């Protein structure tokens, strides 16, 4: 584990998912699949899908509005907006700029970061560093995705997985910091296992498929995740007095619930201490961890003082974990 300094805490959280539901039965009418097949392989039953005129910035703004309903003064003094997304409305202006304008955060800088499904944990790591270093006092993070607009709904291997959603969090200065550890990594050699073509349509000399839609080699991503994430979790837990046993809740990226079951078993944490959001929201990429955390808070599971281990992993290949006292 990277020993880190911390003079910050998570002071507020909010989330949002679109109204439209895409069920497994709906998908059965679109591709060769059915509810039993999808649930057995992924654990997903529904996803939320953005409207035609609804984009990532809209989802993020709604998540911030939810945060303000829960914590009315949370945006007072925000001086930086970080947006974690791989599905921005436009190449520019950025999602963070659009959010900054929506809430008239006149003294805030803005930055979008692209770490795919590890976006929220990357943003937490950066926000803690910014605040602890004294460069900023309060950071607004938004993590949102409109994955449905990047999916080929004739491709059974991807269309059953992804949904849309957003989370928002405020990281503020605290004398007693709540960030206890971090671990980050990447493996760019696996970039061809999950990608979306853009200006370039070749990678390492190989022609890319998908025509701008998400393409994934699920078998290779699965093998990488179930090997890499438990190793990262082990490193994060090494400095804890009782190791894994000290962790109250494990919140991994909700890629696929069967994958998460395997990861939870390999870490020794087990499914009883693992929080997810995929069953009714699908894989929402950067938004999946805050969605899972908010669900657990609303259900009364997560309480102040609990030790959380959040771990994001995905395209790039990127991965990142943080230990945080809630």
Task: Write out the catalytic residue numbers.
Answer: 117, 253, 283
- Give all strands (DSSP E) within the chain, no chain letters: 8-16, 20-23, 46-49, 80-84, 109-113, 138-146, 164-173, 179-186, 194-195, 202-203, 206-207, 215-216, 249-252, 307-314, 318-325
Contact 255, 285 (CB under 8 A): no
> Cα 38 vs. chain centroid, distance in angstroms?
22
CA distance 235 to 3: 11
Q: Dihedral sign, CA of 216, 229, 35, 51?
A: negative
The token pair at 305 is 């003082």
Contact 143, 123 (CB under 8 A): yes
Distances in Å between the Cα of 128 and the Cα atoms of 5, 21, 71, 200, 296 are 9, 35, 20, 34, 23
> How far apart are the two ends of the chain, measured CA to CA in Å?
19
């Amino acid at each position: 584990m990277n020993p880190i300094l911390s003079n910050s805490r998570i002071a507020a959280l909010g989330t949002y998912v679109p109204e439209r539901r895409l069920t497994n039965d709906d998908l059965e009418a679109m591709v060769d699949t059915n509810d039993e097949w999808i649930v057995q392989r992924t654990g997903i039953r529904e996803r939320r899908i953005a409207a035609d005129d609804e984009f990532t910035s809209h989802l993020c703004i709604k998540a911030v509005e939810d945060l303000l309903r829960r914590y009315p003064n949370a945006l007072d003094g925000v001086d930086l907006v970080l947006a974690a997304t791989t599905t921005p409305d436009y190449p520019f202006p950025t999602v963070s700029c659009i959010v900054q304008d929506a809430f008239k955060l006149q003294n805030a800088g803005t930055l979008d970061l692209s770490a795919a499904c590890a976006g929220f944990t990357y943003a937490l790591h950066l926000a803690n560093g910014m605040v602890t270093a004294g460069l900023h006092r309060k950071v607004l993070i938004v993590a949102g995705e409109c994955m449905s607009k990047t999916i080929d709904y004739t491709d059974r291997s991807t269309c059953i997985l992804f949904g849309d959603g957003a989370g928002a969090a405020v990281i503020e200065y605290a004398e007693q910091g709540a960030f206890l550890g971090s671990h980050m990594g990447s493996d760019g050699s696996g970039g061809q296992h999950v990608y979306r073509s853009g200006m370039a349509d070749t990678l390492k000399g190989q022609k890319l498929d998908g025509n701008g839609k998400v393409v994934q080699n699920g078998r290779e991503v699965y093998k990488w995740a179930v090997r890499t994430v438990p190793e990262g979790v082990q490193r994060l837990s090494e400095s804890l007095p009782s190791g894994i046993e000290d962790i109250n809740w494990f919140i991994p990226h909700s890629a696929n619930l069967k994958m998460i079951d395997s990861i939870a078993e390999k870490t020794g944490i087990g499914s009883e201490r693992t929080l997810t959001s995929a069953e009714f929201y699908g894989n929402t990429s950067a938004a999946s961890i805050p969605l899972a955390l908010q669900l657990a808070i609303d259900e009364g599971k997560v309480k102040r003082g609990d030790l959380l281990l959040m771990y994001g992993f995905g395209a790039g290949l990127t991965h990142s974990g943080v230990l945080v006292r809630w």
